[in-house]
Amino acid sequence: MTERRFTLHSIRTSKQGQQINVGKDNSEYESIVQTLTMHPDDMQSLNIASGSAVRIRTTQGEATFLCQGGKVPLGMIFVPYGPPTCRLMGGETDGTGMPTSKGWEAEVEPISVGMA
């Protein structure tokens, strides 16, 4: 399988903020936190179709996300905070109480064909 390194940033989305009022125990919230966004050219370079599953690996762990194209810089990937993202974080907080969540080096590996 082809894989490539990217800079990973975890984020909060406006949809995620709206959905939190409904609760985390529902399928719409699950869908939000299990979706990764990357530049369409990066997706094409790895032969990833929109809706495909990808495995993300950091030095701390790995998680699976569904991939979608979006307006993000080349070489960067963005994932909403949630249980899958927590598998990628270490416990170091640099004294802030919050694990470092931006600027990780991560490998992206396609693991399924999407529903493009």
CA distance 77 to 91: 21
- The residue that leads in pLDDT, 75 or 27, is 75
Domain edges within the chain: 4-110
Question: What pLDDT sits at residue 92?
Answer: 67
Rounded-to-10 torsion of CA 30, 7, 88, 64: 50
* Single-letter amino acid code for the residue at 13: T
pLDDT in tens, 53-84: 999 999 889 999 999 999 999 999 999 888 88
The model's pTM is: 0.79
Task: Indicate the fold that domain 4-110 takes in CATH.
Answer: Barwin-like endoglucanases (2.40.40)
Mean pLDDT, rounded, of the chain:
81
